[in-house]
Structure 1
Amino acid sequence: MFDRIRAYVAGFGGSADAENAGLRERRAHNLFEAAAAHVAARAEDDQDQIDETATWVSPEALSFGVSELACRAVIALARERDESPRAVARDLLGLPTA
């Protein structure tokens, strides 16, 4: 009788583990996590990863995240180079200095 109870309870543990694994796979991605992964994939020219990250959040959220990442990157580079963010942004895009 106790063997049947143990087997029954063990069945719950197994299905709970499977459900938790499914939740981990389906969890919602943070828009900044999606933006970071998307930009990194673009930098590495990894089309499969680009396509996947584009599905993690809405296009609007991804656009916002990429924009925020770009702003933070330009600010960090400007501080590192001791230049204005405008000069750094223009330099990164290959534009002449204004």
Structure 2
Amino acid sequence: MFDGLRKFWQSNRPARDENEPARDRGKHQRPHNIFEAAAVYVAACAEDDQAEMDEASGWVSPEALSFGVNELACRAVIALARERDESPRDVARSLLGLPAA
């Protein structure tokens, strides 16, 4: 599921010109929102990509990023629960390696 999210994000992300100075990047792009930041941050965590995590965490405040990550986690657990025909509680515990309640 997260791999699909990462592929979707990468296919819809504008390419960066590596020759463009860092201070000029983003002037022609719209600002990032908390859900974009959360999606990139979580996908980067899953891929152990520290540079991408650092970039995404700079797009929004730490509080906003935390909210976005929480919202993404809730939606992911709900989607997996529907796919597996299980309760969200059982799916969340399973993802964390906890025994069934």
TM interval, shorter chain, is 0.7 to 0.9
Q: Secondary structure at the match of 2:28?
A: helix
Match of 2:100 in 1: 97
Bigger Rg over Cα:
1
With the length of structure 2 as denominator, give the TM-score of the two structures.
0.72
Q: Does 1:61 align with 2:64?
A: yes
Query: What amino acid is aligned across from residue 50 of structure 1 in structure 2?
Result: M
Give the whole-Å Cα distance in 2 for the aligned partners of 1:83 and 1:34. 29
Alignment-derived partner of residue 88 in structure 1: 91
When the two chains are superposed, the root-mean-square deviation of aligned CA atoms in Å is 1.3
Structure 1 runs not aligned, ≥5 long: 1-20
* 1:23 corresponding residue in structure 2: 27
The structural deviation recorded for 1:23 is 2.0
How far does residue 28 in structure 1 lie from its aligned partner after superposition? 1.8
Q: What whole-Å deviation, never above 9, does each CA across 1:52-97 have from its counterpart, x for those lacking one?
A: 1110000000000000000000000000000000000000000000
46, 51, 58: which one pairs with 1:48?
A: 51
SS at match of 2:31: coil
Structure 1's consecutive aligned runs of 4 or more residues displaced over 6 angstroms after TM superposition are none
AA at the equivalent of 1:80: E
Q: Which structure dedicates a bigger proportion of its chain to helix?
A: 1
Residue identity opposite 1:24 in structure 2: H
Per the alignment, residue 70 of structure 1 pairs with: 73
**What is the TM-score of this pair, normalised by structure 1?**
0.75
- When the two structures are aligned, how many residues end up with a matched partner? 77
Identity of aligned residues (%): 75
Structure 2: segments with no counterpart, 5+ residues: 1-24
